[in-house]
Amino acid sequence: MSDRLSRRLLLQGAIAATALAAAPRAQAQNSRMPFADWVASFRPRALASGISDQTYDRVMKGLKPDMRVFAMQAAQPEFTEATWQYVNRRVSDWRLITGREKGREYAGLLERLEKDYGVDRYVLLALWGVESAFGDPIIQQKYMRPVFPSLAALAWGEPRRRTYWERELLNALRIVERGWGTPQEMISSWAGAMGHTQWMPEVWLKLGIDYDRDGRVSPFGKPDDALATTARYLIERGKYRPGEHWGYEVRAAGAASSETRRTYAEWQKAGRGRADGKAYPLPEAKARMWVPVPNGPAFLIGPGFFALRSYNPSMNYALAIAHLADRLRGEGPFVRPFPGSEERVPTLAEMIEIQQRLTDYGFSTGGVDGRSGLDTLTAVRNYQRKVGMEPADGYAGLKLLARLRQGP
């Protein structure tokens, strides 16, 4: 699961243009044997793992490796985001508006999940929104690819983690063997994460839940199975604690991060009350201090925060999910701004204006819809470079809009 959608779209999109140029490097990694010979040599292992001859032939016969995965794995993202930019892009006006709509549309499902697993409905909405833009078909069409050419290429030609890729390829084959998915419908990120909440094959097999009771487990189609399995993942692997909030922004100007775990009551006595002035609902629960950026907002983070981090091992990711969940619940922005983030998050109308002006000036954003995806980031950065804006970081904010209003 850890490669999900940035995990993922930022990486995929930023390096897509270099993938073909990197093909010789990719070829150099595939030193063991020609791909067709490797497919034949892998058959006995697959059969020993319970894969039938029929399934192996159905999936692997004539399969061509997706050579782009090597460039995507090796390259680094071209965009460097400050913490406040990372959070702002994910807690966007579009995600808030769309997330509230999805919350109303799937209120019954979310209520059942909350009852069955104890995972906060807004956490599930936030994960769904960040991972796949709430299952947006545009994301699937533009950034997803058939899973087997990707996993087979990695299992064949990526020596550093070959054992891992071989195992995930076998897991994907088992999914077909069970009749849970077909090679045609199993589309994924470059490293095999699939569906609404971006499962790896191992998660699909070991944690997948047939929550809609249609006879098979699937991360595609209706979001029932995807959200239920993600709730189970947070509980079993993230050690999520039902009823306990992820943490809180606190009054702690200038405080340093601390590994010391204290109860919220103890933090309160130490002058670390909530920044919004409210009381801690579970004063005996424990948390530690975290200040992502010096002189920025400070947080007390508990087990719920690290449950989110288990889904993607990034502190910024966990903070973005936690904050998006809080905003969907109806809470406000951070009380203390991050340094350098004096400008607020653009509204949906402002983001649409940014995209429209960029498009009019010849910098395609791949659509004018108010979402800041990879095409928009690339267009912004190219415009920034042309007009000499520094840093050329691809961030679609209010300073950019002001410059766009001056002309190309």
Which pLDDT score is estimated for 76? 44
What 8-state DSSP symbol labels residue 184? T
Which pLDDT score is estimated for 392? 87
Tell me the sheet residues that pair with 290. Answer: 299
Residue range 269-282, pLDDT digits in tens: 999 999 999 999 99
Name the one residue in this structure whose structure tokens are 């109806």.
330
Which pLDDT score is estimated for 80? 67
What is the chain's alpha carbon radius of gyration, rounded to the nearest angstrom? 23
Which pLDDT score is estimated for 27? 44
Average pLDDT, the chain: 88
Compute the residue count for the chain: 408
Task: State the DSSP string of 106-165.
Answer: THHHHHHHHHHH---HHHHHHHHHHHHTTT-HHHHHHH-EEHHHHHHHHHHH--TTHHHH
Most confident of 2-6, 168-172, 394-398: 168-172
Q: What angle do CA 106, 110, 115 make, to 5 degrees?
A: 155
Q: Which of 286, 245, 219 is nearest to 4 (CA)?
A: 219
Instruction: Put the strands of the sheet holding 247-250 in their side by side order.
Output: 247-250, 298-301, 286-290, 261-263
73-77, 193-197, 217-221: least confidently modelled range: 73-77
Cβ atoms of 285 and 264 within 8 Å: the answer is yes
Beta-carbon neighbour count of residue 41 at 10 Å?
12
Provide, rounded to the nearest whole percent, the portion of the chain with pLDDT above 70: 89
| Domain 9-77+142-236 grouped into CATH 1.10.8.350 | yes
Cβ atoms of 379 and 358 within 8 Å: the answer is yes
Q: Which runs of consecutive H residues, i.e. helices, occur in 310-347?
A: 315-329
Q: Is pLDDT above 90 for 318? A: yes
State the distance between the two ends of the chain, measured CA to CA, in whole angstroms: 41
Task: State the DSSP string of 251-279.
Answer: --TTPPP---EEEHHHHHHTT--BTT-PP
160-169, 254-263, 328-337: least confidently modelled range: 254-263
pTM as predicted: 0.86
What residues does each domain of the chain span?
A: 9-77+142-236, 348-404
Strands (DSSP E) along 266-392, which ranges?
A: 286-290, 298-301
Residue range 116-128, pLDDT digits in tens: 999 999 999 999 9
What does the alpha-carbon distance between residue 109 and residue 128 come to, in Å, rounded to a whole number?
A: 14
Residue range 33-42, pLDDT digits in tens: 899 999 999 9
Q: What angle do CA 178, 183, 185 make, to 5 degrees?
A: 100
Cβ atoms of 335 and 249 within 8 Å: the answer is yes
Which pLDDT score is estimated for 253? 63
Instruction: Locate 181 and state its tokens.
Output: 């998915």
59-63, 111-115, 390-394: least confidently modelled range: 390-394
